[in-house]
Amino acid sequence: MTESTKTATLSFDGKTLELPMFTPTAGPDVIDIRKLYAQGHVFTYDPGFTSTASCDSTITFIDGDEGVLLHRGYPIDQLAGKSHFLEVCYLLLYGELPSAAELEKFETTITRHTMIHEQMHNFFRGFRRDAHPMAIMVGVVGAMAAFYHDSTDVSDPHQREVASHRLIAKMPTIAAMAYKYSVGQPFVYPRNDLDYAANFLHMCFSVPAEEYHVNPILSRAMDRIFTLHADHEQNASTSTVRLASSSGANPFACIAAGIACLWGPAHGGANQACLEMLREIGTVDRIPEFIARAKDKNDPFRLMGFGHRVYKNTDPRAKVLKQSADEVLELLGVEDNPLLQVAKELEKTALNDPYFKEKKLFPNVDFYSGIILEAMGFPTSMFTPIFALSRTVGWVSQWKEMIGDPQNKIGRPRQLYLGETARDYVDVENR
């Protein structure tokens, strides 16, 4: 970010203020309003912060109009197609792709941190069996601060590093344990001979009664889901992590806050909403009816998993994940799963319909991740925990960047107050 020679002129109530502007390496210029209140005694009003840059960052860049998503400058389709999740984790954390030696050391470090403290098993058993896995993850991740005291001092760079590794390494174990607990099966410990994605699938689907072999096609699809959800700029949950961390809270509390925010159906529940829509459609013969409803402006029905709030073109993550979806469905088949039959036919119909082409309502990453996870055998209640698992590295990277920023200060948004002005208290007998 460099200060531009340009300035923005703001005129109001007979005052004129010259506000400095910054020019980013990519994206629109930014007006610096930090001294707006001091100089003009006014605030800006921006519900949802849709026109406000809350920070500067070097991690992720999105151009929704052009369908671009870059991590440290690398296009997401190249990373998802040629790299793997832990290499992308290293890139997000440290800014550059690792050498072979650096990657091997990083993978070893993450692998050696995958087990959780044995006493933490008691936390899981304190929840009801029908507890949502996200409720369990919020509680257990927050409780990590009670077990790992040597990585809670945010002012210590070494402790921040250890906390980062622990969170990335232990999140698959915690998510898998939440799943196992919900289905009444024994916990499965992580294995150091498996890669990150294969290890997660093993912990979710293996049982002590028989040997379980992770299919490489499923493992690769899982790895791509992780990679494609690793970070997404200053979204709601990332902003929550940054706001929590601005107070100096420990990293485990900050990530737990991010998980809680992601739990909301408007954020992390999009692929679950997509599967629920497919269930509502029910059978292939009803697809024309729902396509017609989606085109009807007076019908509240929305075609979930198509189009994207950010991407006004194609979702750059969807093309890569479509390849994995095709591979997974070919491997596992759709003949015995009516929901997947509906998904495949709906995809075909939408991709060939002039209306959807004109409106750029293409299948997005949530559509493909939803049908992959369904095909693998995950219940919809696990979709958002898997999203949280994937996004942890993004949250951690953003948290580390913020803590290391000399401009870091506690977040304190302003408001447009519309309540009563000062008035005197009236005794209860006189009201």
| Residue 383, helix vs strand vs coil | helix
283, 373, 316, 79: CA torsion to nearest 10:
-160
For the question of residue 32 being annotated catalytic, the response is no
**Cα–Cα distance for residue pair 65/313, rounded to 1 Å:** 6
**Cα–Cα distance for residue pair 211/196, rounded to 1 Å:** 19
Cβ–Cβ < 8 Å for 150, 159: yes
Strands (E), 240-284: none
> In whole angstroms, what separates CA 413 from the centre of its chain?
23
Task: Report how far apart, in Å, the C-alpha atoms of 143 and of each of 150, 186, 335, 387, 392 are.
Answer: 14, 21, 43, 20, 16
Number of other CB atoms surrounding residue 330 within 10 Å: 10
**Cα–Cα distance for residue pair 98/91, rounded to 1 Å:** 7
Task: Report how far apart, in Å, the C-alpha atoms of 302 and of each of 116, 280, 296 are.
Answer: 41, 12, 10
| Residue 338, helix vs strand vs coil | helix
Residue 165 backbone phi and psi in degrees, to 5: -65, -40
**Cα–Cα distance for residue pair 361/306, rounded to 1 Å:** 5
Which entry of 195, 223, 231, 366 is annotated as an active-site residue?
366
Residue 44 backbone phi and psi in degrees, to 5: -95, 160
For the question of residue 65 being annotated catalytic, the response is no
Which entry of 71, 165, 229, 308 is annotated as an active-site residue?
308
Cβ–Cβ < 8 Å for 197, 220: yes
Residue positions annotated with a catalytic role = 308, 366
